[in-house]
Chains A and B, each alone.
Chain A
Amino acid sequence: AQTVTQSQPEMSVQEAETVTLSCTYDTSENNYYLFWYKQPPSRQMILVIRQEAYKQQNATENRFSVNFQKAAKSFSLKISDSQLGDTAMYFCAFMLFTGTASKLTFGTGTRLQVTL
């Protein structure tokens, strides 16, 4: 079974600053995907970024980037130039690649507060 751990229950960052959210996971599999999802107060789950495990290059989406360390089983999210709209719960998630639809295993989440 896979597990996902987010050790930071809450984080705070000032607007325009950079913040890094941590995530570690445990698996014995080799083919998988990792995701960061954002859940604002509306509770809609929004995909922020995803990383295929077979890719060494870290994924980037505008202000969001990841530091994927496969050997260390670490998958942190860096948010640059933080904006007030980034305030939300952030969940790290693991999905095993099976060729068909696979379930997501979520971490416990990090509540990010962006302040003025």
Chain B
Amino acid sequence: GAVVSQHPSRVICKSGTSVKIECRSLDFQATTMFWYRQFPKQSLMLMATSNEGSKATYEQGVEKDKFLINHASLTLSTLTVTSAHPEDSSFYICSAQRTGGSSPLHFGNGTRLTVT
């Protein structure tokens, strides 16, 4: 079955530093990947749509300069949280879908970011 790998699973960083999270589709190509954010006991909120070879599309209210997305290949998308602050502490999850549009989305295991 399709597998999406997300790394790291857990990261702690100091306020003001940047953190990069990777999302890889291991056995399929994904021209589009999605980044979600989940606060404790809440639902998943879409942050942005990552498109291979082009700029990401950000949801309303998400700062594109704060959350940098790079989708450099058909199997890798990265989310960089720049100048992280404690309020950026959250659970970040990526998802990917086989190119075609009718397959279900597959999710990474998520990254728990803690900014101290």
B43 contacts partner chain A, Cβ-Cβ < 8 Å: yes
With the chains together, A47 CA to B95 CA distance in Å? 12
With the chains together, A104 CA to B46 CA distance in Å? 8
Chain B residues in 8 Å Cβ range of A103 = 34, 46, 49
Task: State the majority secondary structure of interface residues on A.
Answer: loop
Closest A residue to B57 by beta carbon equals A103
Sort chain A's interface into a size bin: 20 to 34
Chain B residues in 8 Å Cβ range of A47 = 104, 106
A43 contacts partner chain B, Cβ-Cβ < 8 Å: yes
With the chains together, A97 CA to B95 CA distance in Å? 17
A25 contacts partner chain B, Cβ-Cβ < 8 Å: no
Flag if B34 contacts A97 (CB, 8 Å): no
With the chains together, A108 CA to B43 CA distance in Å? 5
Closest B residue to A43 by beta carbon equals B110
With the chains together, A95 CA to B103 CA distance in Å? 11
Residue from B31, B44, B49 having most chain A Cβ neighbours under 10 A: B44
Instruction: Tell me, rounded to whole Å, the shortest Cβ–Cβ distance linking A42 to chain B.
Output: 8
With the chains together, A97 CA to B100 CA distance in Å? 10
Kindly identify which residue among A35, A50, A102, A104 contacts B101, using a CB–CB cutoff of 8 Å: A102
Flag if B44 contacts A106 (CB, 8 Å): yes
Chain A residues in 8 Å Cβ range of B97 = 101-102
A residues apposed to B, CB below 8 Å: 33, 35, 42-45, 47, 50, 91, 95, 97-109
